[in-house]
Amino acid sequence: MRIGFHLTPFWSPTDRAPTAIIDEAIEVVRAAAGMGFAWVSIGHHWLSHPTVWPHPIAMLGRLAPEAGAMRLKTSMLLLPLLNPVDVAESVVTLDHITHGRLDVGVAIGYRELELEAAGLRRRDRVPKLEESLGVMKRLWRGEEVTLEGAYMKLTKARLGLPPHQRPHPPLEMGAQSVGATRRAARLVDAVFFGPQVAWADVGRLVGVYREARAAESAGTAGTAFAWHRPHHLQPAARGEGAHRVPPDDLGGDRAAGDGARPLTCYVPSRSTGPTPRTRRARCWRGSARTRRRMPAERSCCCS
């Protein structure tokens, strides 16, 4: 079992100077580097006022020399909002900066404000994500890409810099529904179930993922990640890093299905919202101190 931690709790409270917010997160990662954590991850949002969401690519580049042996993850990069060529170039550069310790998580996004800023509609999210991933994988493989797609046009496009990890950094996709879980099984080698998914449902969705991977003849079972904060663990003080979760709390192979590997668990180090039961129906931004409700939209980034 591997344990990692997510930086979102450290962006709150927001009454600190922005430089102090970022500097404190850097200190946390520096302190956590020797504690045995497998990775540190960072989320992605645009136009997030009144909350704070530093740019994930820039932030991971700064954290790379502080992270020791920990892997660094985008969790999740809202891929439909972005130009896939720019993402492919940025990921390659960051992969070399981290010396191959980068994992790239992607999701479809959900906030109308962000979609509007990107010139997209909700129905564009999935096809844009799939088209973008296809282009990025081809560029990372070193292909010369000519394409006239629904969202982009490329003519003899080829990256100048190949990735450090071949054919590309490990890819994972956020999911919180059966359809999104099957999409992850088809397109990437790992799925991430966020805090909106009730812990009781994680095992069922892992089963969906394994079945879909087998149907796709993917060659590997894939990996499942889940964010979970057990009821009996109290929030840590700022700077203490993430709590370790006893293996029995994860259900091990019972949750993942017979023969599957145990789940990996994301554990936020401070409370980021209501209890897991409430999280099934609500998404929250900020910490328990700010407790600001997300806009009343129909889904979250991993639908």
- Could you report the per-residue pLDDT of 179-209, keeping only the tens digit for each? 999 999 999 999 999 888 888 899 999 999 9
Q: Does the pLDDT value for residue 290 go beyond 70?
A: no
Percent of the chain scoring above 70 in pLDDT: 74
Of the candidate ranges 164-173, 182-191, 258-267, the one whose mean pLDDT is the lowest: 258-267
pLDDT bracket for residue 216 (50, 70, 90): confident
> If you average pLDDT over each of 6-20, 209-223, 263-277, which comes out highest?
6-20
pLDDT bracket for residue 123 (50, 70, 90): very high
Q: Does the pLDDT value for residue 286 go beyond 70?
A: no
Global pTM exceeds 0.85: no
C-alpha to C-alpha distance for 115 and 107, rounded to whole angstroms:
13
Tell me the domains of the chain and their CATH numbers: 3-293 (3.20.20.30)
Q: Does the pLDDT value for residue 252 go beyond 60?
A: no
Over residues 44-62, the mean pLDDT reads 96
Q: Does the pLDDT value for residue 259 go beyond 50?
A: no
Looking at residue 80, what is its pLDDT?
98
